[in-house]
Every structure is written in C-alpha cells, then in structure tokens.
A and B are shown apart, each in its own frame.
Chain A
Amino acid sequence: MAAPLTLLLIVAVTIRAVLYRSSLAELIAERVEVVSPITAWKRVIEGLALLDLGVSPYSGDVFHETPLIIYLFHFLVDYAEITFMLADVITAVALYFAVRDYNKKVFRKQKFALEADRYPHDCLELIRRPKEMFYIPLKVAMFYLLNPFTILSCVAKSTCGLNNAVISLFILTTIKGNVLLSAVFLCLATYQSIYPLTLCAPAMLYLMQHQFIPVNFRRVSFWWFVTQYLFMFLGSLLVLTCLSFFLLGSWDYMSSVYGFILSVPDLTPNIGLFWYFFAEMFEHFRLFFLCVFQINVFFYTIPLSIKLKEHPVFLMFMQLAVISIFKSYPTVGDTALYLAFLPVWGHLHRFLRNIFLVSCVLLACSALFPVLWHLWIYAGSANSNFYYAITLLFNVAQILLVSDYFYAFLRREHHLTSGLYLKKKDGSEATLVLK
C-alpha cells in the first residue's frame, strides 16, 4: 500500500513543480477563485515587505494573515514552493491514514453488528466489503492531491493549503484518539480562520465514542471529558494568541484578522456568497445581514451534531462542507478539502439522487468562472451579474451535493435498521418518504 501512495505523491509533486516553473503560475496566483484577500501569497509578501520597512503589517488593510504565518514565512519565504507542496503532501498523507483508521473502525463495528445479527436480512447488499474499502484511503489521497482545485491552490501559493494541512492533521489525531493533539491542531486551525471552531463538536463526539463515554448530559464522565477537551483547546488558544501578541507586540492582528473575517470589509469577488451581496446591500441592513450570514455558518453545528452524534466523521465532513460554502472568503482550496472525503462515502452512491446533475453543474461552473471573469473584467462585454450568477450556481450545486450525501447517508442508516426492501401493509412495494 505504501508504493501506490509514494507514486501518487511523486506524481502530485511533479505536477506542482512543473506548474511552478511555467508561466501559468503567475496567472493562477491572480485568480480570485483560487486566492482570497486572506490567503493570497501576494499579500503575505506585502506583509513581509511592510515588516522590513518597519511598518506594522496590520497597520494597513492588505495583510490579513495571522502573526504565526508571517513569522513562518519570515524564515521560509525562499522555500515557499517547497513549503506549499509539503503542506499538500502532509494533508494527503494525514487524510490517508485518518481514513484508513476510520475504515478499520467502521469495518470492525460492522463485523460486531453482523455477529450480533443486528442487520435485517435483505440488507446484505448494503454491507461494506473489505475489497472495496481497501482502496478508499488511496482514493482519498488521490482526490485531494490530483484535484485541480488543490493543484491550483498550491500553485497560487494560497495559504489555504496550510490551513487544510492543519485541519487534516486535526482529523488524523482525532481519529487516532489523541485528545491533546486533537485539541492543539483544532486550536491552530481556529486560530488561522475562526470557522474550524465548529469542528469542536464532531471531535468531541468522536473522542467520546473512542473512549466509550456515553453522550449523556446527566453523566459526570461526559461533562468531565467536555471540560477536559475545552480546557486543552482554550488553553492552547490562549497560548497562541499571547504568542502572537509577543511576536508583534500589539493586539492589532485581532481586528485585522478576525475582524476582517467576520465583518467582510473587502468585497473582492470570490466563489462565495458574501461579496456581491454586501456590495449591493443597503447600508442600514448591512449589520443585520452580516450577523445572519455569519451565524448561518456556525448554526448548523447544533442540529447536525444531534442528528449525527453516532457518526462524527460524517459530521466532520458536513461541517467542512458547510464552512467552505458559507464562509466569508471561500476559495477552491476549501472546497477541495471536503471533496477529498467523497470516496469515503462511495458506498452511498446507490442512494444519491442527483449526483450526475450536480457534478455537471460543478464542472460547468469551474469552467465558466474564468470565462465570465474575463468577460467582465477584461473584455468589458459582460458585467458583474454574469460572474455573480455563476457563483450562485456553484454554491447551489455544492449545497445540493452536500445535502444529497446527507440524504443518502441518512437513508442508508434507515435501511440498515428497517430493511432495504420495504413492504406496505398489503404486501405491495412501498416508497420511502421524509415525513
């Protein structure tokens, strides 16, 4: 299994290295779909240049990275390409091992259930087989590394790649059951871009499952674990913020990084929903809609955690998808991270309703983004509505994709408890509906 993974890594790194050397790299680095005002490499360089001039990088509105990133690249600026390739490799490898462990666990659970004869007899075709599960980790790594979105993101040196690496390390440590490292990596991810905060819930659910702590509000062990985890998380967050403060000697970065993410002052077009909405917003409603849109990202955590408390990894996937759709400055790199999980849910394909349509729309949108951007910005023969329409369509497609997977997951779970071929009372074939 190590050989195909190595081969995959070599291929992925070669593609990236070739693209770095080509003239395309500069073009890609300017693409608004690939880089956002937060993650743009140009802005990181600008921050370093400002630091060299003796100006605080946060005194202006160009640099919005965290102080740790600026200090990382203070030393690594000459090795940026290697750093970003390494980040992608780390992400892929971490996801590979995470998914392998998860699959092992799923398989073991399924074996126990089969031995206990818990599944209805007509559900045997839903049972997952080791043969098909064997290649899933490799597929996940491949989905991440060879995804054009990831490649573009890496070639543009979008710091989104680093965030993805941190998140995937968080996933790996969580699935491995390491509470402390899980909290630390989650804290790092949160420190980088607030939104991964919502991954707190699946992490705790998974770790509790791992340690056989029942999710029961009346149990002391539950509260003890939650306190423990939150203590580790908040403790490392405190350490990180203080470290950042001491690195630059001021709290300016708070408003410049987190204020920037939350209040969305930069309306540079991207693939998200925020930019055009707030460019066209009436000023006195701005704050209201800002709150609504930001709460929207965090809000799904609670109902999803309740519904999926038995399946924290799927919950994690859902959360990542929700974040990448509804965050304020999304890039294709964020999308690539949750798309990498799709092979893990390969067994749900028989329940997906509109996967063909959605994948066509996603492909068409990806192709249309640069075309309509060119028509608007360079040719002047289209206006902003064209590009906006495509972002809308892209987001609708993502939402449909995610909800389709959610539907399929829930439906499979239902079938596993109540049988695959449902009969009506009179014995005729029944249809399953949501009620």
Chain B
Amino acid sequence: MAAHRCSYLAWLVFIFSLSGILVADGQETTLSGDHLVSAVENPQTDAETEKRAAEEPAVEERRWEATRAADAAEENQEFPASVATVLSSTPQLKDDFQEELVIRPLHSGDIYASFHFRTLWETDFMKGNKVSHYRLFPKSLGQVISKFSVRELHISFTQGYWRTMQWGQPYLPSPPGAELWVWFQDTVTDVDATWKELTNVLSGIFCASLNFIDSTNTVQPSASFKPLGIANVTDHRFLRYATLPREIVCTENLTPWKKLLPCGSKAGLAVLLKSEKLFHSSFHSQAVHIRPMCQDSQCKTPSWELRQTLNVVFDLHTSGQGKQEWSLFKMFSRTLTEACPLASSSKIYIDITDNPQEEQFELIPATPLLRQAVVLGDRRTFSVYDLTQQVTFGTVRSLNLLIRWKSTEGHMLRPLLHAERYVAGYGLQTGEIHTLMYNNHPFRSFSVLLLDSVPWYLRLYIHTLTVTSKGKDNKPSYIHYQPSKDRIRPHLLEMLVQLPPHSVTEVTVQFERALLKWTEYTPDPNHGFYVGSSVISALVPSTVAMDTNNTQERTLFSSFFPCKEESSYFVRVYTEPLLVNLPTPDFSMPYNVICLTCTVVAVGYGSLYNLLTRSFQVEEPNPGLAKRIANIIRKMRGVPPL
C-alpha cells in the first residue's frame, strides 16, 4: 500500500510540473503502468490459492473472491483519506476490468461461446458533476451517459434466431436485429427528445441504423422491463424500448464494439473476436449493458458497470465440418497467448455439467479447477482456465482449448419456458398473430408477462384477442393496451398470463393490413415488413428445485427441501420476429394516377360546369366557309347574298 501511495504522490508532482494535454497523457501511462504492477503481483497470490483450489474447487473459488474483496476494501479506506483531501479536483480512478469466456457444448453438436467483459467504475454520473478523466471505461459511452442523463442502457445486435428448443436458454437473451432499451434519470424533462438524440448518437457509436428508431417503433412498457441496477424509479415514463428487427449485424458493428474494450482486440480474450469466423455462425449476438451498481451492501459507493457480451453459436456442419471436435482455433482461427494486462481477472469456463466423468467429451488440456454456479435456475459445473496464470498456457505459450466428443448420446432437459409465434391467414387484407407459449414444467404453473409491440400499419383489433390454454379460455389477469396512432406510435400490448403446468397457451389477435403511401414502403416492399419479437418475461420455477434425482452430491442437511432463493429465476424469452406482407400500390405510376384521378374530378367538374353556366338555345347553324366567301364576293358585286 505504501508503494502505491508513493507512486501516486510522485504522479501528483508530475502533474503539477507538466501542463495541458501532456498531463492527461502522462496520467494514463502512469496509471496503466501502475496497474500492470499490481496485475503481475496478483498471480502470485492467485497461484497459491489455485493449488488448494484443486482439492476443494467450489469452496476455494469463493474464498479467492472474498480475499480480493477485502483487499479492495482496504484500498478504499486508505486512498481517499490522504490523497483526496490534498487535491479534491483529482478524480478517483477506481475501475476494474474482468473478462470471461463461457463455452457450452450443445447437445445438437453445435457449440455456444459467450464472451463477457465487465468494466466497473466507481464514479457518479448522476450527481451532475462532470467526469472528464477516463481510464478503462470508454469515454464515448461515459459522455453519452452524462450528457443524456441515462440511468441504464441496454443495447444488443443480433444476427440469427436463438433456438431455445435445441440450445436451451442463452446466458443473455436478445431478439434478432437490434434492441435498445434505456431508463432515463428522473431529472430528464423531455424524455422523447432525449431519446431521439440518444439513438442518433448511439447510431454513430455503433455504426448501426439506430437512427431509424423513432416514435413509430418506440414503446414504454409498463411492466416487462424493470431496471436491472440500483434504481429508485420504476416510473415507466422514463423508460423507452425499441427494436429494429430488420437490422443486419456485421463487421462494421463489431469493430466499434471491440474498440470499447480496454485492450481493444489486441490482447486477452478479444483476440478471438475475428469477424470472418464470428459471422460464419448460426447465431451471433453482441450487446452492451450499462447500469449503476452497488459496491457494498449499504450502497455507499455507487459505481457504473459496463458489461459487453458477445454470444456466438457455431454450427456443427458449416463451421465444424460435421466433426464433433471443437477447438479455439477451429472456432475463432486464433489461439490465446495472454490475458488482457488491464484485466483483474481473465478466465475461460467450460460447461461440463453433463459430463462429470468425462464420458461425453474430453478437454485438452485438462484443468483441475472446477467451479459451480447456479445459472438460469440450474446448478452447473464449469472447468476453469485462468488466463492470468502462465501455467495455463503450458510450454507452447499458447492455449488452444480442444473439446473432443467421445459419444453423441445424452439429451437436453427441455427448457421450461419456450415460445413461438406466427402469422395465420391468407391474402393481404387481414391476418391473425398467433403466439404459443409452452410451459414444460410438469407440475408448477407460473405467470409470464407478454409484451407485443406491433407497428401501426398492422391494425390490431383488441376485441379479437383470445388467450387459451388446454382448450379453455385463460383470461389474462392484467392487460395494458395502447392502441396505435397512424404514423406516430405502434400498438403496445402487455399481458400477465398464467401458464398452467405442462401446457401450451395460445394468444391470438387479428389485424388488418394498411395500404401505405408509396413513399412509406421500404425499397423492397414485396419482401414484407418486420414485426419485432414478442418479449416474454417470467419468473420460472428453478430446475434445481424440481430436481429430485439423487445422483448429485449434496450434503444431507441441504438436500431435503428445495432451497428457497433458487426456487425461481428470471427468464426472458424472445419469439421469432414476423415478416408480414402488405398490399402495395404500383410504384411506377404516380404521375398516371394523379393525371387519371384529376381527369375524373375534371369530368365531374366539367359536366356540372357545362350545365350550370350555359343555357338551352335553338341551334342556328353557322354558314359554311365556302358560303361565307361566296357572300363576300356577291356583296362586292352588289348581288344579294345567298
């Protein structure tokens, strides 16, 4: 600690001696250097603990986490007392970066890799004080948060649809296309204007078409999206939710996303994120979540969490050439050589829950480290590779994790909650949206919140809404419906539906397709119009609680009653987006239509005008031209005219 303080003071002197821009540069280099020292120091203590961890993995991991927390607490107490009083203008740069890669071999033979990067920053954007010194936290996002008074921001870009029935639940669900939901602080007066500005800024940051988010696809869900961080407001006037189901995610979105990482794509897990492989996959989803967090139980020191996640599912046949053998190199065409030097922890987890005795697949190199965690209501076991340790990389100084299958047997537990959606009906006049929600729990019913945001050009008829389960009418206990306004806002339908055990609940609602103005159609109008996924949020009874088989090792005193806090867990499921065709006018003939319709109006006007202004008269035929000339000649000759 003393060394810390010395270097800090030295740095202060350094600041005073230099000026302007140089200061900022110097600050960054010194601090990162400082962190490097501590990063090098840490592995020693970690290494000691890991040895013991081999014996009692789960317990040991927990203890390792606890010691680190204590360290941090000590630093907290010592630092500010001495330094901050001396120089109050100096910002406290307390931030922390962690990276993780979770790999889950899927029963279909595909493989699911999920990257999680977390930057924690102990600062307060909300108090209105200007934050201008950034270290690990990306400045672009920090400025966005403070400028637009954002309390929480969740954005995801997804290519492909997550197949829940084949792959189980994802760690972080996301709908196809782009999704953005933001909680603003209650100091924001004009939320809509701020939202509009924010989407335009984010559109620039992520190189995405978020600027297409306007009032016609933005809704304010009343119950489905609650703040995930510390929050004292749940007034949904400060919430905005929008999806762009048509958005296509590609390299240009990945690059700015990678730039937000402290190490970029230069070191650590991010070196694996090469677009040529990532986008050659069945499912790709990248997300950014920003929320305020508590560091301690009293919530004295608020901090901001930036969580960047990237989920990718590689297909057995297209990426794996049909061979059930996955390695880091095969997946990402890179291997790992080091952790991100700025990361306080950098780990790879492999889900080996279904493979406790290595009867299904083997891991090369093997790791003695294990860790248990309750994920999505299920207790899972993971093999852990700690990248901050040199041991992990072995003698070749490169980690190429290999998962080789031995047998293809085994089945996946059906996901408890699962939903699908489709459009019924034919023709371009009307249609019906069917949403099917499956409760696969054998004996428990639970309620789900269904959120549907339907564009205005599909005119929903709420009186045709039916909810049936097991052939009976299942009346929703809560309905929040906001009808659409043409060209202004979409329909919003939120319902709380009770799903009976082991049942399918069907929600149907009829709609009418509108004819739009010719300029309102997309460039490919006959491709159809996308309707964003329905969002189903639920507290699902845990599988741990449901688990009655005796094979898992548990202490006798804990295994009789299902444990309370695990008894239900939060799940969000997104259905498929819909593609709906609308009737189209003929785009090639606006002039013709204008001319023809005006002609008809003119026919009406003309015929009435004719009758109104003229009167009936007996026809006195005009003499012909020849006769007139003859008359002139006769007149000259002095002869009476004809």
Binding site for B on A (CB under 8 A): 30, 32, 42, 45-46, 48-50, 53, 55, 59-62, 265-269, 273, 275-283, 293, 296, 300, 303-304, 307, 322, 325-326, 376-378, 383-385, 388, 392, 395-396, 399-400, 403, 406-407, 410-411, 414, 422, 424-425, 430-435
Contact = CB atoms under 8 A, between A and B. Distances in A.
B568 interface: no
Given A296-B605, A303-B612, A268 B515 contact: yes
A303 B611 CA distance: 10
A53 B594 contact: no
B585 A265 contact: no
Contacts of A376: 428, 583
B619 A279 contact: no
A413 B603 CA distance: 24
29 contacts: A46-B463, A49-B463, A53-B462, A55-B482, A60-B491, A61-B486, A268-B512, A268-B515, A269-B515, A269-B583, A276-B593, A281-B517, A283-B519, A296-B601, A300-B608, A303-B608, A303-B612, A307-B612, A377-B429, A378-B427, A392-B597, A399-B604, A403-B611, A410-B616, A414-B616, A424-B620, A432-B617, A434-B610, A435-B614
Contacts of A410: 611, 616
A198 B360 CA distance: 84
Interface in B563-606: 583-586, 589-590, 593-594, 596-597, 600-601, 603-605
A60 B484 contact: yes
B426 interface: yes
Nearest to A56: B483
B616 A433 contact: yes
B263 to A, nearest CB: 49
Contacts of A275: 515
B518 interface: yes
Interface string B482-493: 111111000100
B459 interface: yes
B590 A280 contact: yes
A62 B461 contact: yes
Contact of A411 (B459, B460, B605, B616): B616
B481 interface: yes
Nearest to A256: B485
The 9 A-B pairs of least Cβ separation, nearest first, read A60-B483, A49-B463, A403-B607, A434-B614, A280-B593, A378-B427, A430-B618, A277-B597, A280-B590
B430 interface: yes
B37 interface: no
Contacts of A30: 429-430
A435 B615 contact: yes
A316 B481 CA distance: 44
A399 B463 contact: no
B539 interface: no
B462 A430 contact: no
B514 interface: yes
Interface in B424-461: 426-430, 456, 459-461
A30 B510 CA distance: 13
Contact of A383 (B456, B517, B586, B609): B586
Contacts of A384: 515, 583-586
Contacts of A277: 593-594, 597
Contacts of A53: 462, 479, 481
Contact of A392 (B429, B586, B594, B596): B596
A434 B611 contact: yes
Given A61-B483, A281-B590, A388-B593, 16 more contacts: A46-B462, A49-B461, A55-B481, A62-B461, A268-B512, A273-B597, A279-B515, A281-B594, A303-B608, A304-B612, A326-B604, A396-B603, A399-B603, A414-B616, A432-B619, A435-B617
B516 interface: yes
Contacts of B611: 307, 403, 406-407, 410, 434
A385 B485 CA distance: 28
B619 A266 contact: no
A377 B486 contact: no
Which range holds the interface residue count of chain B?
35 or more
**Which label, helix, strand, loop or mixed, suits the secondary structure of the B interface?**
mixed
Nearest to A417: B616
A49 B479 CA distance: 12
A400 B607 contact: yes
Contacts of B620: 424-425
A423 to B, nearest CB: 8
In this complex, which of B456, B487, B586, B605 has the most chain A Cβ atoms within 10 angstroms of its Cβ?
Answer: B586
Contacts of B428: 376-378
Contacts of B590: 280-282
Nearest to A410: B611
Nearest to B584: A384
Contacts of A403: 604, 607-608, 610-611
A425 B618 CA distance: 10
A243 to B, nearest CB: 24
Contacts of B486: 61, 265-266
Given A42-B461, A378-B426, A378-B427, A273 B484 contact: no
Contacts of A61: 456, 459, 483-486
A432 B618 contact: yes
B589 A280 contact: yes
B487, B586, B597 pick with most chain A CB within 10 angstroms: B597
A392 B485 CA distance: 30
A396 B619 contact: no
A399 B600 contact: yes
B478 to A, nearest CB: 11
Contacts of A307: 611-612
Contacts of A322: 604
Interface string B466-499: 0000000000000101111111000100000000
Nearest to B596: A392
B513 to A, nearest CB: 9
Interface in B517-531: 517-519
A303 B603 CA distance: 17
Interface string B348-375: 0000000000000000000000000000
A431 B619 contact: yes
Contact of B517 (A279, A414, A432): A279
B607 A399 contact: yes
B483 A55 contact: yes
A32 B608 CA distance: 29
A300 B608 CA distance: 8
B241 to A, nearest CB: 19
Contact of A273 (B430, B460, B519, B600): B600
Nearest to B617: A435
Contacts of A399: 600, 603-604, 607
A45 B456 CA distance: 19
B483 A59 contact: yes
A269 to B, nearest CB: 6
B515 A434 contact: no
A293 B601 contact: yes
A323 to B, nearest CB: 12
A279 B518 contact: yes
Contact of A377 (B427, B463, B608, B619): B427
A403 B603 CA distance: 10
Contact of B518 (A280, A400, A431): A280
Contact of B585 (A280, A300, A378, A435): A280
Contacts of B515: 267-269, 275, 279, 384
B79 to A, nearest CB: 55
A427 B622 CA distance: 17
Given A279-B516, A377-B428, A378-B426, A265 B487 contact: yes
Given A377-B583, A399-B603, A432-B617, A385 B589 contact: yes
A249 B518 CA distance: 37
Contacts of B485: 59-61
Contacts of B597: 273, 276-277, 392
Contact of B463 (A45, A422, A435): A45
B481 to A, nearest CB: 6
Contacts of B607: 399-400, 403
